[in-house]
Structure formats: structure tokens, C-alpha cells
Amino acid sequence: MGNVIAKYSTLQRQKEKLQAEIAALEKDERFRAELEFKNKLVSLMYEFDRTAADVWACLSLTAQIKLTQARLRSGVRES
């Protein structure tokens, strides 16, 4: 029985530590900015009926186009 109480006490301490870490994170401006970005992105995905895979494909394609354009401007040919 004492083992169960000891485990419970350990878990309570861990829970309190995690709650404190979460509270500190929620006050961090970087976290708030990233959360706002994520929420806006999810909202746009919902609005336009897109999945994360759709967004990734779009971003990957855009990155590939920009890379190709940069190579063309610099005279580097693709292999």
C-alpha cells in the first residue's frame, strides 16, 4: 500500500512541476506568436478545406520554384 502512495506523491510532484512549466511557457511571447500562427494556419486550412499534406505540398513546390529561379539567376544548371 505504501508503494502506491509513494507513486502517487511522485506523480503529484511531477504534475506540479509540469503545470509550472506550462504556465511559464504560456507567458512566453515566442510561444504566443507560434500559437497564434498555428491557430491562423489551422483556420485557413479549415476555411479552404485543405490538409496539412496539401499545405506541405504547396510549400515544397514554392521552395523548389524559388530554388530553381535562384539557380537560373546565378547561372547554375540543375543536374
The domain segmentation of the chain, as residue ranges, is: 1-48, 51-79
pTM over 0.75? The answer is: no
Percent of the chain with pLDDT over 90: 67
Q: What is the pLDDT confidence band of residue 79, given thresholds at 50, 70 and 90?
A: low
Q: Which residue has the higher pLDDT, 47 or 79?
A: 47
Other beta carbons within 10 Å of 1: 5
Find the distance separating the first CA and the last CA of the chain, reported in whole Å: 69
Alpha-carbon span 60 to 48, nearest angstrom: 18
Residue 32's Cβ-side half-sphere holds a number of Cα atoms within 13 Å equal to 6
Asked whether residue 30 carries a pLDDT value surpassing 80, the answer given is yes
Answer yes or no: is pLDDT of 24 > 90.
Answer: yes
Q: Residue 62: what pLDDT?
A: 81
- Give, in order, the Cα–Cα distances in Å from 6 to each of 15, 17, 20, 71: 14, 17, 21, 63
